[in-house]
Amino acid sequence: MMFYKNENALTAIVQLSRLELSSDYLNKKFNDHRLYTVAILLILIPLGLAEGVFDYKSHPEIKSELLQLRLYFILLVIPAWIILKSSSLKLVTAIILVTLVFSAYLGIRIIEHTGEDLVTTVSNVALYPFFIFFVLIGFSIYIQIFFLTVALSYVFLTENHGVLDELIQNAYFQISVQSSVSTLFIMLVFSWSYYHRYNLQLALEKSSQTDPLTGVANRRHFDNLLKSATTRSARSGVECSLILLDIDHFKSINDTFGHPTGDRVICALADLCVKQSRATDLVARLGGEEFAIILPDTNITDAENLAERIRKHVEDISVAGDAGEIVKWTISLGISALPLNKSSANTTEIVMEMFIRQADSALYEAKNNGRNQTVLSQ
């Protein structure tokens, strides 16, 4: 049991390390923290200017020079605005990296002016690792660690910088290392926490779109995807087809063999539809024994070929009843093609209704004609 848990943890770590390189994952991570990043940058402006008040008391002889440096914090409005408005993660990442370099440069210049002031040194440089984390909270853990490493490397270069004496240098070194290690721990914990939040959101999204019995799409997801397919077909002029199908005499199967057997029949049909369909098609359970398949970029002839392939496979399969009986069944199918010539003149909702109604009429005709057959809409 312990080995199994460790194996799961190792698998999760490997998956997290890969996701932190995935553009889809990183885009979602950034968008989830976009406003937070903007708020942090804007808050730094009054905080930076507020330190100018202390400069009047602690360094009255150079207060003008320090105030001029502090006023540069107002420029943080520029990256904050770009981050708020931009949809390009690469551009935002570049802006953030420039902002971090700019803020580090300001901190160094302030230390150069204040000289051997332990309080100023700690507040402007030693706490910089935490600033890196807060600003980069919505970015890849690899970028966070890279900039943390760069900031820590500066600690080892300050001896040759000629700014701090040995006493302050030692204090600066100790505090900076401790802050960097603490920040690294926070970065890793946050990335791990967000990874679990991401997986939870995916699970909730999937459960809201999936039929619990069969695992295929539910009616809500079907409606959303059909609307998207209809809109895309109307805009780009690509073909789209719809198959509606249900199990013949399903009530008789439930009455004769019981509802658990009926559920197995439904699941078997769902599995068959998924296996026979393409990855770009959507198989959905609309309710009861009725299913639908959306086929993007597919004309009605190819849709008919798929429908007939599914129908014939159903004739060759069976499920076992609770008492071991062999249960066989058939299906009826109706097919419609999206009326492209009418889609531009009508709203998406009207076209969708027409699309479904034609397939439903074809299915109804297949039922009336004796079942176990495929009918195309006229």
User: What pLDDT is attached to residue 4?
Assistant: 45
User: What pLDDT is attached to residue 151?
Assistant: 78
Question: Which of 20, 65, 159, 289 does the annotation list as catalytic?
Answer: 289
Q: Hey, what amino acid is at 368?
A: N
- The tens digit of pLDDT for each residue in 162-211 reads 545 555 566 667 777 888 888 999 999 999 999 999 999 988 888 888 99
362, two tokens? 């074809």
Least confident span in 21-30, 150-159, 230-239: 150-159
- Are the beta carbons of 357 and 346 closer than 8 angstroms? no
pLDDT of 3 strictly over 50: no
Least confident span in 65-69, 200-204, 229-233: 65-69
- Are the beta carbons of 48 and 73 closer than 8 angstroms? yes
User: What pLDDT is attached to residue 106?
Assistant: 77
Active-site residue, 289 included: yes
- The tens digit of pLDDT for each residue in 272-295 reads 999 999 999 999 999 999 999 999
Q: Hey, what amino acid is at 211?
A: D
116 phi, psi to nearest 5 deg:
-85, 65
pTM over 0.75: no
- The tens digit of pLDDT for each residue in 100-122 reads 888 877 777 776 666 555 555 56
**Which residue ranges form the domains of the chain, and what is each CATH number?**
2-207 (no CATH), 219-376 (3.30.70.270)
Residue holding tokens 């609770």? 322
Q: For strand 331-337 and strand 374-376, is the pairing parallel, antiparallel, or unpaired? A: parallel
Higher pLDDT, 23 or 169: 23
